Amino acid sequence: MLTVLALMAGIFAVGSEELVVSPLLAPMAESFDASVGVMALSVSIYGLSTAVGALLFAPLGDRVSRRLSLALGMTVFILGTVVCAVAAGTGMFFTGRALAGLATGAFVPTAYAYVGDQIPYEHRGKAMGILVSSWSLSLVLGVPMGSFIGQWAGWRWTFVVLSFLGALVLAVLLRVDGRRSPAHAEEASGQSAQGWTRSAARAFLAPKVAVYVLVTFLVMLGWYGLYTFLGTAFRDHFGARSSLTGIMILLYGLGFATSFVTGRWADKLGKERVLTAALAGLVPALAGVPLVTEWTVLLVVCLFLWGVLQSLAVTLLSTLLSECSERHRGTVLAFYSLATNLAVALGTALLAPLFTSYGFSAVGWACASITLIAFGLSAWMHVRGKRIHPATPPSVQEDEAKALTHED
C-alpha cells in the first residue's frame, strides 16, 4: 500500500507541474521579460517531451526493471524541476521543462504497468483508481496550492515545493521491488520477438482505436488550449494579488474530480452514449467560460460544469480505448498517451498567437470548434456501433479465446 501511495504522490507531483504553469504564466513572463505567449511554449515543450519520454523510456521497465524506470524517471523529474526553480532565463527554464516532461513520460506509464505486475487482479481496479485520481488531485489541490505559493512567495517556490515532493517519492521508490512476475516476463519476451512496430500497427488498426485516438487528440487540444490561458485571463480580470484566480481554478478542479460518480452513470447508460452527450455539453462550456467572466456566479457554474464534463470525457475515452483490444491494451493506451501529450504541445503553440492577438474569447471559440469536431466523430461512432450490434466486446472475445487456449 505504501508503494501505491508513493506512485500516487509521484503522479500528483508530475501532474501538478504540468498544470500549474497556467496561473503562473504572467509572473514568469515578468521575471524573464518575455510575453505570456512565449512562456506558454513551456507547456508545449512539456507535453512534447512527455510524449517522447513515453515512447523512448517507458519500455525500460519491460526490459530491465520497473523500479529502475520509476527511480530514473523521478530523479530526472527532480532535476528538471530544480532547473526550472533556479532558471536565469527562458532557455534554461525551457530546458528544465523538457527534462521534467521526459521524466513524466517515463514515470506515468511505468506506474500503471507496476500496478498490473504487482497488484492482484481482484484489487487492481481499486489500485488503478487511486493512481488515476491523482490527476484530479493535481487540479483540486496541486494547481491552487502552486498558485497561492506563487502569489505570496514567488513562482520559483512552487517548483521548489514540487522538487521536495519528488524527493520524498524517490526515497520510497528506492525500496520498491521492480521485478515482474514470470507470466509478465514471458509475455514481454513474446512481444519482443514479434516486434514493437508490428504490434503497434495491429493495435492501431483494431476496431474503433484510430477514431477514438483522434477524438482524444481533439478533446485534449480544446481542453489544454483554453486551460493554459485560464490563469492569465483571470489574473487580468481579478487583479494580480487577488486569490480569486486560485479559487476559480479550484472550482474547475472540483468539477473534474466528480468522475468517481459520473463514471458509474456511464456504466449504466452506455459509455459511447454518455461520451457523446458530454462532448455536446463541452462545446458551449468552452465557448461560454470567456464570455461570463464578468458575472462571478455564472463563471462558477460554468467552470464547475466544464470540469464535470471534461473529466467524464477523459475517463470514458481512456475506458473505451482500453476495451478495444485486450491483447494490445498497453499499446492502445500508449497511443492514447501520445495523443494527449501531442495535444498539450500543439494546443498551446497554436493558440498562443490567437490569445495574444484577439484575447481569451477567441481562444474559447476556437477550442469549442475543435471539440465540436470531436463530438461529430463520437456521435458517428455511437450510431455506427448501434447498427453493428456486436455480440460481445472485443476484449471479452479475446479473454474467451485465451481461456480456451490455456485449457487446451
Q: State residue 128's pLDDT score.
A: 53
Q: State residue 64's pLDDT score.
A: 64
Residues 6+ positions from 134 with CB-CB distance below 8 Å:
8, 9, 11, 12, 15
Asked whether the beta carbons of 321 and 332 are under 8 A apart, the reply is yes
Look-up of cell digits 501505491 = 4
Residues 6+ positions from 349 with CB-CB distance below 8 Å:
40, 41, 44
pLDDT in tens, the chain (408 residues): 667 778 888 888 888 887 788 778 888 888 888 888 788 888 778 878 887 887 777 656 556 667 777 888 899 999 999 999 999 898 999 999 999 998 888 887 777 667 656 665 444 445 555 666 676 677 667 777 777 787 788 889 999 989 998 999 888 888 765 454 444 444 444 444 445 566 667 767 777 888 999 999 999 999 888 887 877 777 777 765 556 666 777 777 777 777 666 656 666 777 788 889 999 999 999 988 888 877 878 888 888 888 888 888 887 887 777 677 666 665 676 677 778 878 877 777 788 788 888 888 888 899 999 999 999 999 988 887 665 544 444 444 444 444 433 443
Report CA dihedral (208, 209, 211, 217) to the nearest 10 degrees. Answer: 150
Containing H/E element for 3?
Answer: helix 2-19
Retrieve residue 212's grid coordinates: 477514438
What is the C-alpha to C-alpha distance for residues 228 and 171, in angstroms, rounded to an integer? Answer: 32
Instruction: With CA atoms as reference, report the closest residue to 313 among 323, 302, 303, 305.
Output: 305
Interior angle at CA 122, CA 120 and CA 125, nearest 5: 95
Q: State residue 382's pLDDT score.
A: 82
Q: For residues 365-384, b (16+ Cβ closer than 10 Å) or e, as one string?
A: ebbbebbbbbbebbbebbee
Q: State residue 130's pLDDT score.
A: 61
Angle between helices 296-322 and 244-256 (to 10 degrees): 40
Domains of the chain: 1-179 (1.20.1250.20), 197-388 (1.20.1250.20)
Residue 181, burial from CB neighbour count under 10 angstroms (0-12, 13-18, 19+)? exposed
Retrieve residue 122's grid coordinates: 481482484
Instruction: With CA atoms as reference, report the closest residue to 66 among 188, 206, 205, 225.
Output: 188
